Structure 1
Amino acid sequence: MPRSLPSFLPSFRLAVCSAAVLFAWNVQAQEKQATAEPPAQSDAGPVQKVEVKGSGYDPRRDDTASKMVVTSEEIQKYGDTNVTDVLKRLPGITVSGAAGRSGGEIRMRGLGSGYTQILLNGERAPAGFSLDTLAPELIERIEILHAASAEYSTQSIAGTINVVLKKAVKTAQREVKLGVQRSKDSFSPTVNLQLSDRDGKFSYSLSGSLYRFDYHYDNPAQELAYAPDGRQVLQRRSMGTGDGRPEGINLAPRLNWVLAGGDTVTAQFFVNVGRGEHRSANRIETELGARPAYDIEAIQSSNHNAIGRGDVTWVHKLAGGAKLELKLGASTGRNTSDSRQRGTVEGAGLALDRLINVKSTENGVNSIGKYSTPLVPGHALSMGWDTGYTKREESRLQRETALPLAGAPVNSDEGFDAAIRRLALYGQDDWEITPRWSMYGGVRWEGIETRSEGNSYDSVRQRTSVWSPLLQTLWKLPDTKGDQVRLALTRTYKAQPTSSLIPRRNTSTNNSQTDPDREGNPNLRPELALGLDMSYEHYWAEGALLSARASARRIDGYTRQGLLLINERWVSTPVNDGRANTQTLELEAKFPLRAVLAAPVPAIDLRASLSRNWSQVERVPGPNNRLDQQTPFSGNLGIDYKTPDGVLTTGGSFNFRNGGPVRVTELQSSYTSPRRDLDLYALWKFNPKIQLRLAASNLLAQDFQSDSIYSDASGTIRRNSISPSTPQGRATLEMKF
């Protein structure tokens, strides 16, 4: 069960004391080792181990902890303009929402909403940052961790996706990419730049991207209601439209120094600056029953945001192969949004004219430390800490115009500030028991203290902490060259975001059971999960893999969205509601054609994956009482071909994700339609410095449908929405100089 977290100052002192203890322990260990063995022998062992492991080393195959690494070449293969399009093709990962539209939620095991942990360079991304704004050209690799690791946060019930930005390279590199994407209802030009070089013991890299996205969409919907006897009492049809233009810039500079004695200092920064405009309109026609409060809704909004993060890392090499890593970082974020909401009654005139201005700032500092040593033969011991402090301030100003058709104007001037203090301590050991059997064991303690105060609600303070013991093992089966089995036992959790804890209400325009107001719950507790993962992997040729993975999670303190009627308005608020269970089965195959055919064959690579997910929420009656609208089934199929001269590389992928009905609560349910994506790409290399990449995505142009249903003793109300989609084409010219 969660325990109280000490205040931030003792936490920071504890981190500093931990560093001192680790350093003292290392010094003592070195003195004992120097007495027992000659220095030359002490240094030779660790160096030899690194050389042997680095020869043909594959992290997915050889790491004890289950990990999949996606390289920069694979990330850029289809010329995608955002990371979510890259992730949807990876085994076991799905992206929610309609094809061809940004803002989809990234899910492992079909679970999102905080169950899947998204990291940027091993740390949580700043508040307000979206992976949709990150160009794939800025990414060095993507790490997929199926089971939790003590070194990273264990807020990863479904798993962890770590996006690692590009670093300095050994040779000079200058590359620019000019791209354009076009569809029936969108247009997006992009510019990407990559610079890197070195001068002696100093090296640097600079990755940057400029983007703009012009879009238009149609969003038809209908609302139906039925009396308890099945008689239809309401039918409304609406035609929603929207258009806008987000644009911005990403910069990711990195500086490296190699100091005397082999120490390194690295300074890395990330800057994201953007702005956007959005306009939407919705006309509602009532064919049966009562008209809504407003027949015409119109929203016009604009926003400006800037996010910056920087850190400095010092890596100090110690005798005996030990190493100490210290990182100090800071982040800042600013966001301003203005919106105007208008509601019109057909035939009568304007009945709502509301202006809303929201300003928020978030600043934070953090410290990370890690000590690792091969002190005991066959063991890779490490331990460390991760502590930080974040301060968030937000103000919301609302003004309504006095109108004859409206009631008294509802004006407000709300403000709040929140502070988050966190501390994590961990220890782990990677133990090579035999050349064919290794084991990973770790434990992590994480504590979070959240305090929030505002002029529209009472002070909120919450302290929680979680112990996470972790165990993983890898066994390479005897008398085989490429068969191995993995097992992992984990304890993970899902912390509640600050927005879910603040009891401040965000109102909807046409309030209803299917479009309620939203309000946080200060009494929310973390969700705790026990996990079991098992997998079998078969490697039979270079680049050839067959694998099967099964997993299960038992989640206590499951959080769902409750729906309440308060003062004649429907309000949605999160609540803890008992236990949930989830199970997953994943199958994956990838291999070159030459691995299955003896005769000379073209350079064709094949890949396929299937994922089946089940879940049950105990306090929600079935059927279809799935967890977090979990994706039940998804699959990927892909093929790549390269000509013998290497001038042309081409291929395609088909991605399927089904939806279906979900029972959210006893009174609420929802439905989403299946999603099918067909993408093709081709890469022409004109010479070593110039190449052209063409891609076509969403070729099936399948519309996306979603339903929201509420049913009680007074009847049933249902809202159905359709998101049309169109194919997209992209062209990118890549030049090195």
Structure 2
Amino acid sequence: MRISRSGSLAALLLLAAPAAAHAQSSAEPMQQVVVSAAGADLRAQSTTTAIVINRDELLRQGDASLAEVLKRQPGITLDATPGKEAQVRMRGMGSGYVAILLNGLPAPSGFSLESISPELIERIEIGRAATAETSSQAVAGTINVIMRRAGPARGGPANEIKAGSAFQRGHAMPQLLAQHSGRHGALAYTLAATVKRTVNPVAALSTEEAPGLLRRTGWTDQLVEDVAELAPRLAWQPDAANSITSQSYVRWRHVDNVKRESETTEVGALTPFPHARQRFETRPLHRYADVAWTRKVEGGARLNAKLAGFHMRRTADFVYEGMDLRDRLRETHLVASGPVEREWTFSGSWRRPLGGSHALAAGWELGRKERSEYRRERHLDAGGAQVFASDEDYRSEVRRSALFVQDEWDLAAGWSAYLGLRREDLRTTGQGNAAAPVDVDAGAWSPVFQALFKPQRAEDDAGGRDQFRLAVGRTYKAPDIVQLMPRRYTVDNNNSATNPDQQGNPALRPELSLAVDLAWERYFGKSGMVSVSAFHKRIRDIILTRISERNSVWTAMPDNHGGATVRGLEFEGRLTRGSLAARVNLARNWSRLDSVQAPDSRIEDQPAWSGNLGLDYTAPASRIDLGGAFGYRGSATSRAASPVFSDDGPRRQLDLYALWKASAQSRLRLSVANLGQRRYQERLVHEGAVPLARTTSFEMRPTVRLVWEQSM
């Protein structure tokens, strides 16, 4: 549905009018959230429902990336299948359902939770329910990454160095992070530099079973990634009313991935290439910069504006060598590609307290993303003669616009509420010489209401502070350009129902979701808390993958498949007693697809159970801190698109750490990640006329990390 910009603005002003009118008659003081407060305080004081991970928690385990930090949070799981980029899930819902934000705005294309170091982050805000100010594309929730401010922290060091290495399967992964901060009058600055190597060796065995077929393929995959990054931050405050900040980064990467396959067919026919070797090499360059201006005006109002730009250029070469059982070359597949992405975003907001009890805000976002790519593919026989050639080019563009208005106010003693409305529109276009043009509009109105109730308690009540939360909101998920472009991505060997080609669908419609969240929280002591929450989501036009066969070629294509229901329960608890701190969380998820009337009808890869248990020992007089966390993700069994059945086995992870504080400026950190499980299994079954099952068993190995931390 498309509406005019004037219609959007009129609707927003109509919503703001009653809020402003109500402000005239209210004189109760507004609750203010102090940004410098601890994570638990931020969470308890905010009317909107969110989990806040403060800086101490970010650095506690010595994690190498934000993805590792997030896997221990309530309701969040990490799909870290060896050889693939980790996917963060909230409430069992993964890619596209979770909005990743950077300082409150949609993160640029090159932003990755796996690539960014926790040392560069101030805090993370996990929103279970959407707000009008942030993206409406948050069906599962939002993860807002707040970067550190420029300049040295108050009383903190001007220079920080962290150097060390991780070790896995005998491979060393050195890393160095250095930060220098300073201040000259009204200008504060920080320059961070990161150099690191990541090695991800994978060993696995895939087994295919069908009537008249039993085939086993052992394969190894080793990815080596080298990264160098510079990230300057600036803050300038020329006077009391104005401030200007800027954050940017330049990231160079070199990725070298080598994979080898060896097939043994006990029953049935061999594939065209029973032995194979492939290599993928790429050198991406990512550049990002933003500048933000804030001005304080009369009456406590505040005006913000921000302009951000992103650019990515990558060249990639892929070589596939298909061989027979005696390692004699049969075919060579050569692919050269070079995508280029450009993106800019202009956003702003106006905020003002009204009547002492209201905080009214309105704002906008405008953005444009362009992507162009060439792909040159050649197939050569054993003698070097060309047997296939393909030259493809395509260009795509995504235009995004959003307007929002919101009001947060105190209704009465113990009651506060939040009301917001957001209109977000996306238009995706694409064309190329190998696919039909794409022109798709997606957008939605997203009203949001949240309420917080704090029962009054007696002065001598030491049993804790109770809070009750309610959130109702509408969100949506727009298909991305890869899902929309009808170009085909072919597999090099063994096309089958469990290993199909991939193709987009330009007829996809956006998914729409209506959600209700309820929560009870109790806070006690300095940092103790317990929380129980429940949610229910109704999704319309859910996108599932349809696998079909045509002319003996299997193809997987996304398609809208009616409605779905997702619901769940979450429990969280934290307790500190002296030198010991304990934390626990547990989540139970359910889902049901209207289009799949069969057992295990649920959204793809949603685990039924997940949970974490952590314990930390920190004594003021001791020079050693110890701790660890055990995480469990139950089996993810689903029949997301009949007749396809998938079953990802349970995962158990144990992470341990020890920190030796040699002095106030020097620390040595030892951590071990991914203990507790040696093998992990994934199973995919196509229950067609001729059933076919593929089971893959991965070997799991722990990662040991030793890092020296020095501040000056």
2:665 to 681, 689, 693: 689
Q: What is the correspondence of 1:108-187 to structure 2 with a 5 Å cutoff?
A: 108-168=90-150, 169-171=153-155, 173-187=158-172
Q: Could you tell me how far apart the structure 2 residues matched to 1:494 and 1:77 are?
A: 34
Distance 1:50 1:290, change over 3 A: closer
Deviation at 1:208, TM superposition (A): 2.6
TM alignment of 1:54-93, pairs within 5 A = 58-93=41-76
Secondary structure of 1:213's partner?
A: strand
Gaps of 5+ in 2: 459-463
Structure 1 segment 170-569 matched on structure 2, within 5 A: 170-171=154-155, 173-226=158-211, 233-347=212-326, 349-403=328-382, 409-479=387-457, 481-509=464-492, 510-569=494-553
C-alpha distance 716-733 of structure 1, shift in aligned 2 (>3 A): same
Whether the 8 Å contact between 2:603 and 2:639 is mirrored in structure 1 is no
Give 1:50 deviation, angstroms: 5.6
- Between stretches 473-482 and 683-692, larger displacement belongs to 473-482
Q: Do the aligned residues in 2 keep the contact of 1:271 with 1:308 (CA within 8 Å)? A: yes
Q: How far is 1:53 from its partner?
A: 9.7
Answer yes or no: is the 8 Å Cα contact 1:238–1:285 preserved in 2.
yes
- Partner amino acid for 1:291? L
Equivalent residues of 1:351, 1:405 under 8 A apart: no
> Does the aligned pair in 2 maintain the 1:166–1:207 contact within 8 Å?
no
Q: CA deviation at 1:435?
A: 3.7
Q: Distance in 2 between matches of 1:454 and 1:580?
A: 34
Deviations 1:411-443 (CA, angstroms, capped at 9, x unpaired): 111000011111000000001112411000000
* CA distance, structure 2, for counterparts of residue 128 and residue 292 of structure 1: 37
Deviations 1:21-73 (A, max 9, x none): 99xx9xxx9xxx9xx9xxxxxxx999x97699988892100100011111122
Give 1:332 deviation, angstroms.
Answer: 0.7
Query: Could you tell me which residue of structure 2 aligns to residue 609 of structure 1?
Result: 585
| 1:126 CA displacement | 2.6
3-state SS of 1:84 partner: helix
Q: Which runs of 4+ in 1 moved over 6 A?
A: 51-57
Give how far 1:578 is off. 0.2
Shift of 1:289: 0.9
State the 1:189 CA deviation.
Answer: 0.9
- 1:433 to 1:238, Cα distance in 2 relative to 1, 3 A: same
C-alpha distance 503-5 of structure 1, shift in aligned 2 (>3 A): farther
Q: Unaligned 5+ residue runs, structure 1? A: 37-43, 227-232, 594-601
Contact 2:108/2:343 (CA < 8 Å) preserved in 1? no
The SS at the match of 2:691 is strand
Residue 128 of structure 1: CA displacement?
A: 4.4
The 8 Å contact of residues 275 and 327 in structure 2, kept in 1 or not, is answered as no
Contact kept? 2:161, 2:178, Cα under 8 Å: yes
What CA RMSD, in Å, does the superposition of the two structures yield over aligned residues?
Answer: 2.5
1:567-626 superposed Cα distances (whole Å, 9 cap, x missing partner): 321010100000000001000110112xxxxxxxx4101110100000011111221111
Deviations 1:273-293 (A, max 9, x none): 211101101011111011112
The DSSP-based 3-state class of the residue aligned with 1:73 is helix
Matches of 1:498 and 1:633, distance apart in 2 = 32
Aligned to 2:2: 4
Contact 1:185 1:217 in 2 (8 A): no
Quote how far apart the aligned CAs of 1:559 are: 0.4
Report the secondary structure of 2:441's partner residue: strand
Structure 2 Cα separation of the partners of residues 435 and 412 of structure 1? 69
**In 2 relative to 1, CA 247–55 (structure 1 residues): closer, same or farther, beyond 3 Å?**
closer
**Shift in CA distance, 101/514, structure 1 to aligned 2, threshold 3 Å:** closer
- CA distance in 2 between partners of 1:321 and 1:535 (Å): 32
CA contact (8 A) 2:331 2:380 kept: yes
Cα–Cα, structure 1 residues 55 and 165, in superposed 2: closer, same or farther, change >3 Å?
closer
Decide whether aligned partners of structure 1 residues 185 and 388 sit closer, same or farther in structure 2, where only a CA change above 3 A counts. same
Q: Distance in 1 between matches of 2:222 and 2:593?
A: 38
Q: Contact (CA 8 Å) 1:170, 1:198: kept in 2 or not?
A: no
The offset of 1:185, in angstroms, is 4.9
Alignment partners' CA distance in 2, 1:330 and 1:93: 30
Contact 1:588 1:609 in 2 (8 A): yes
- For 1:345-401, what per-residue CA distance to the aligned partner results, in whole angstroms no more than 9, with x for missing partners? 335932221100110111122110100011233100000000111111111010111
Q: How much does 1:258 deviate?
A: 0.8
Q: Which amino acid aligns with 1:156?
A: A
For 2:37 and 2:64, how far apart are their aligned partners in 1? Answer: 34
Change (3 A) 1:264 1:624: same
Cα pair distance change 1:146/1:55, threshold 3 Å: closer
CA contact (8 A) 1:248 1:275 kept: yes
Asked if the contact 1:102/1:132 (under 8 Å) is kept, the reply is: no
Aligned-pair distance for 1:101?
Answer: 6.6
1:724 aligns with 2:699: yes
Cα separation, partners in 2 of 1:668 and 1:208, compared to 1, 3 Å: same
Distance (Å, rounded) in 1 between the aligned partners of 2:584 and 2:645:
32
- Partner of 1:628, secondary structure, is coil
Q: CA separation in 2, counterparts of 1:423 and 1:691? A: 47
Look up the equivalent residue of 1:152 and give its one-letter code: T
**1:629 matched to 2:627:** no
In structure 1, distance between residues paired with 2:416 and 2:608: 33
Query: Residues 101 and 69 from structure 1, CA distance in 2 versus in 1: closer, same or farther, beyond 3 angstroms?
Result: farther
Q: Please report how far the alpha carbon of residue 530 of structure 1 lies from its aligned counterpart in structure 2 after TM superposition.
A: 0.3
Provide Cα deviations, 1:109-144, integer angstroms capped at 9, x if missing partner.
011021111222223333244322212212111110
User: Does residue 661 in structure 1 map to residue 641 in structure 2?
Assistant: no
Alpha-carbon spacing, 1:400–1:682, altered in 2? closer, same or farther (3 Å): same
Per the alignment, residue 229 of structure 1 pairs with: none
2:533 and 2:319 map into 1 onto residues whose CA distance is 50
Greater mean deviation of Cα atoms: 605-614 or 256-265: 256-265
Q: Distance in 2 between matches of 1:658 and 1:686?
A: 40
Q: Distance in 2 between matches of 1:5 and 1:640?
A: 53
Question: Which SS does the other structure have where 2:177 is aligned?
Answer: strand
Return closer, same or farther for 1:45/1:266 CA change in 2, 3 Å cut-off.
farther
Q: Distance in 2 between matches of 1:445 and 1:284?
A: 53
Note the alpha carbon deviations across 1:203-249, whole angstroms, 9 max, x for none.
Answer: 112223211023422111111102xxxxxx10111110122311112
Greater mean alpha carbon deviation, residues 144-153 or residues 617-626: 617-626
- What percentage of residue pairs aligned between the two structures are identical? 35
Q: Distance in 1 between matches of 2:342 and 2:96?
A: 22
Q: Secondary structure at the match of 1:76?
A: helix
Equivalent residues of 2:165, 2:705 under 8 A apart:
yes
Change (3 A) 1:45 1:469: closer
Alignment of 1:583 with 2:581, yes or no, is no
Instruction: Out of 180-189 and 672-681, give the one that drifted further.
Output: 180-189
For each residue in 1:621-672, what CA deviation from the matched residue of structure 2 results, as whole angstroms up to 9, or x when unmatched?
2211111221110010010111241422111110000114321222111111
Q: Please give the alpha-carbon distance, in whole angstroms, between the structure 2 residues aligned to 1:546 and 1:278.
A: 45
Tell me, yes or no, if the aligned pair for 1:495 and 1:526 is still in contact at 8 Å.
yes
Contact 2:658/2:671 (CA < 8 Å) preserved in 1? Answer: yes
Task: Report the CA distance shift for 1:494/1:264 in structure 2 as closer, same or farther (over 3 A).
Answer: same
- For 1:131 and 1:553, locate their aligned partners in 2 and report how far apart those are by CA, in whole Å: 26
Corresponding letter in the other structure for 2:2: S
Where 1:664 maps in the other structure, the secondary structure is strand
